[in-house]
């Protein structure tokens, strides 16, 4: 009898075929290489959640790295049912986003995220992120995914501000401290209230685990990368500009030992390996 298990990877932007401000090819390749290192795994792939209900049966682990795509309707219902029946979902970075609308604030055009049914399934909702910055990440809880991580480590990344949808049922894994969103005017997304900050007025959740029936969701907000191909500047420039000017190529946490360990741990968690 074969002991082979299956993982399904969704990596892509919106509209279909768009990178949506991320280097989807790079992220997809990094995740595929880490999945391929596991001899017991076969991997299926997709660019979005279209027909996700076809791929979930027989899949032990779902990994998503998206900027725009989200499960809706029958896809979200199938995902919820799959989780309830024991599936495990590693949701990375932009998975907490989805649909944005154009509106106005103080007479200027802004973009605002729209909360959808998939945010309830996932357990969080993306508000905004400040410009790329360096910050400290603290490991706040024990879990198979955080095993072996240092208690604190520095990263360069987009610091995601997320609103927990079910805080009482969410086991906090990673946090950072940021009292106020330092985004310059007009940067990123507008939101009515900063519901990301925790009761102490400074802690932000960057990762959590949440049970759903016999299954479990782990969300990690880290993981931005992008590449502006054809840019005439240096091919790799990891500088970070406080006003939101983006370097032409950015790999951030993907080039760190801590993030690599997070992903390897998550693959082991998602496939039941200890």
CATH number attached to the domain at 5-270: 3.40.50.880
Structure confidence at residue 177 as a pLDDT band (50, 70, 90): very high
- The pLDDT assigned to 236 comes to 38
* Buried/exposed 177-213: b ≥16 CB within 10 Å, e otherwise: ebeebebeeeebbbbeeeebbeeeeebbbbbbbbebe
Angle at 136 between CA 170 and CA 89, to 5 degrees: 35
pLDDT over 60 (residue 71): yes
| 192-235 tens-digit pLDDT | 999 999 999 999 999 999 999 999 999 999 999 999 864 333 33
Work out the mean pLDDT of the chain and round it to a whole number.
92
Please compute the mean of the pLDDT values over residues 29-43 and round it to a whole number: 95
- In the 8-state DSSP scheme, what is residue 183? P
Question: What percent of the chain has a predicted confidence (pLDDT) above 70?
Answer: 92
Q: Any idea which residue has 């949440």 for tokens? A: 210
**N-terminal to C-terminal alpha carbon distance within the chain:** 21
Kindly report the backbone phi and psi dihedral angles of residue 158, in degrees, each rounded to the nearest multiple of 5, phi listed first.
-85, 125
| 241-262 tens-digit pLDDT | 655 667 889 999 999 999 999 9
- The pLDDT assigned to 238 comes to 39
Q: Is the dihedral of CA 182, 185, 189, 193 positive or negative?
A: positive
- Domain-by-domain residue ranges, the chain? 5-270
């Amino acid at each position: 009898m074969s002991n082979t298990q299956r993982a399904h990877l969704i990596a892509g932007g919106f509209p279909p075929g768009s990178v949506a401000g991320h280097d989807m090819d790079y992220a997809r390749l990094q995740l595929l290489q880490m999945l391929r290192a596991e001899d017991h795994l076969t991997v299926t792939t997709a660019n979005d959640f279209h027909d996700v209900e076809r791929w979930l049966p027989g899949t032990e682990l779902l990994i998503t790295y998206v900027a725009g795509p989200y499960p809706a309707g029958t896809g979200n219902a199938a995902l919820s049912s799959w989780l309830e029946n024991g599936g495990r979902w590693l949701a990375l970075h932009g998975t907490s986003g989805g649909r944005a609308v154009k509106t106005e604030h103080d007479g200027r055009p802004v973009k605002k995220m729209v909360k959808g049914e998939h945010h309830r399934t996932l357990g969080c909702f993306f508000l905004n992120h400040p410009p790329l910055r360096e910050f400290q990440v603290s490991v706040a809880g024990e879990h198979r995914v955080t095993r072996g991580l240092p208690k604190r480590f520095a990263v360069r990344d987009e610091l995601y501000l997320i609103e927990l949808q079910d805080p009482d049922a969410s086991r906090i894994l990673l946090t950072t401290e940021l009292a106020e969103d330092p985004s310059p005017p007009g940067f990123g997304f507008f939101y009515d209230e900063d519901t990301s900050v925790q009761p102490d007025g400074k802690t932000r959740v960057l990762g959590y685990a949440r049970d759903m029936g016999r299954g479990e969701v782990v969300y990690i907000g880290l993981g931005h990368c992008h590449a502006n191909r054809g840019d005439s500047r240096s091919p790799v420039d990891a500088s970070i500009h406080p006003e939101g000017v983006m370097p032409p190529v950015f790999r951030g946490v993907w080039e760190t030992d801590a993030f690599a360990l997070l992903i390897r741990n998550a693959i082991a968690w998602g496939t039941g390996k200890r």
